[in-house]
Chain A
Amino acid sequence: MRLSIPGLGLLAGLLCLATPPAMADGWNLFDGGKLLATGGVSQVEGAGGGGIANWALITGYGTRDGVGLNVHYTAVLLPDYALQSPGISVGLWDRLELSYAWQAFDTQNTGAQLGLGAGYAFHQNIFGAKLKLVGDAVYDQDDWLPQISVGLQHKENDRGAVIAAVGGKGSVGTDYYVSASKLFLAESLLVNATLRETKANQFGILGFGGDKHDDYSSQFEGSAAYLFSKRFAVGAELRTKPSNLSIAHEGAAWDLFAAYFFSKNLSLTAAYADLGNIVIHNGQRGAYLSLQAGL
């Protein structure tokens, strides 16, 4: 795996920015007041969530009186490809989340097989916003209503010509979603479900829309996590995706993950992920690793 210098540079820069500023006495902007793990980790597109699946929870540890900020670095190491993604996200008053992630998808030797050149990479900027509408996943233990949020992820891919050559219809796309999260605290179980309207091929890495299908379709992503302790959760995720391109059938992705929260400032997520077929290669199963640091 090639290390991405812009990515690491961005992460280092953001970590420097993340040094707490001087606080006014008695009022702490970065209040870090949420309970451990309830800020989630950073999902693959940068939003607060799990790994490949989104959550309705607002990222970070700011309560409704504060702000939470975090940076993350995610790597997905597959047999024939590698994805790296640094990102930053902010949770404002436990109500609004704004996120940015940069993805680099390295085609490694597959690039040569496809005539693009070995190590050819697709890049995406992903800008996200999420708004909490109703419910509180943690406190509302006496209510069946989950926490519900709506959001969008706007994606800009830099490889329009290649995307067009494989049958993709655009290099820019926006996903819209509604997410529901519920903590069944007495059972130590967190459940998440998201309905996503999307045209993205392989999360947008192969563009948006295709020769086979060029409309939005409704896709599902869900996850369940069992809490073994305050710090440690294990679970599974599933995410369906549209199959818009005639060059290859795109199927659902799933993973089994474990997340460890060292503190509210640092967490590590590791997963065994199955992304299925990606263009000419089947069986893209490998390791998903994500480190998140925040305030």
Chain B
Amino acid sequence: MKGIGMKNALRIVSIGLLLSAAPAFAENSLYDEMGGKTGMDHLVDASVDRYLADPRIKDIFDESNIDRIRAELKDQFCMVAEGPCEYKGHDMTAAHRGLHLTNANFNALVEDLQLAMDAQGISFPVQNRFLARLAPMQHLVVSK
């Protein structure tokens, strides 16, 4: 018995190599497509800068510790994009309790985030994949 033969053996090995290499060809994670840690941290800072300059929503942050918001948002955005982070901040309902945020406020936050993503060159389809994960938070954030 000649076994499976050299050619077939090579085929099996090549297929095996391809299969083991497959994860390297898989679609990049949202976190990577948004620029990894550098990109996400920059995105949060740029977005918060826009929030603080936006007359529609800047008053919301009057009583806030901006540094803490930046840090918690960085963890949260990272986690939402399935990056290697764990959000340990306040739960969303508690964090926004008493702020009486409206849908218009929520959408203003989204619009500023979109502008920040535009400025960072994040493509529109990638932006929408990220926003699709944030959108359901409307139920937790909007209380008015």
Contacts and interface: CB of A to CB of B under 8 A. Distances in A.
Interface stretch (B10-18, B46-54, B63-71, B135-143): B135-143
Contacts of A65: 102-104, 144
Contacts of A33: 102-105, 107-108
Contacts, number: 61
Interface string B95-110: 0000000111101101
A140 B131 contact: no
A35 B111 contact: yes
B84 interface: no
Interface string A130-157: 0000001011111100000000000000
6 contacts: A28-B104, A65-B102, A65-B144, A143-B136, A227-B124, A227-B128
Contacts of A34: 103, 107
- Cβ-closest 6 pairs across A and B: A33-B104, A185-B132, A186-B132, A63-B103, A142-B136, A139-B138
B124 A66 contact: no
Contacts of A66: 104
A19 interface: no
Nearest to B137: A139
Given A28-B104, A65-B144, A188-B124, 15 more contacts: A33-B108, A34-B103, A65-B103, A94-B103, A139-B138, A140-B136, A142-B135, A142-B136, A143-B136, A185-B132, A185-B135, A186-B129, A186-B132, A188-B128, A227-B128
A188 B108 CA distance: 20
Contacts of A142: 135-136
B107 A188 contact: no
Interface residues of B, number: 21
Contact of B139 (A36, A64, A139): A139
Nearest to B144: A65
Contact of A64 (B103, B125, B133, B136): B103
A230 interface: yes
A141 B135 contact: yes
Given A35-B110, A35-B111, A186-B129, A139 B104 contact: no
Nearest to A187: B128
Contacts of A229: 124
A141 B137 CA distance: 10
B114 interface: yes
Interface of B: 102-105, 107-108, 110-111, 114, 124-125, 128-129, 131-133, 135-136, 138-139, 144
Given A139-B139, A140-B136, A142-B136, A228 B124 contact: yes
A65 B144 CA distance: 9
A140 B111 CA distance: 18
Contacts of B102: 31, 33, 63, 65
A230 B114 contact: yes
Nearest to A32: B104
A143 B144 CA distance: 22
A230 B118 CA distance: 11
A63 B108 CA distance: 12
B106 to A, nearest CB: 8
A141 B133 CA distance: 7
Contacts of A136: 138
B34 to A, nearest CB: 14
A36 B12 CA distance: 53
A188 B124 CA distance: 9
B75 to A, nearest CB: 20
A278 to B, nearest CB: 39
Interface string A3-42: 0000000000000000000000000100111111000000
A140 B139 CA distance: 9
Nearest to A142: B136
Contacts of B133: 141, 186
A66 B66 CA distance: 30
A35 B128 contact: no
Nearest to B102: A65
Contacts of A188: 124-125, 128
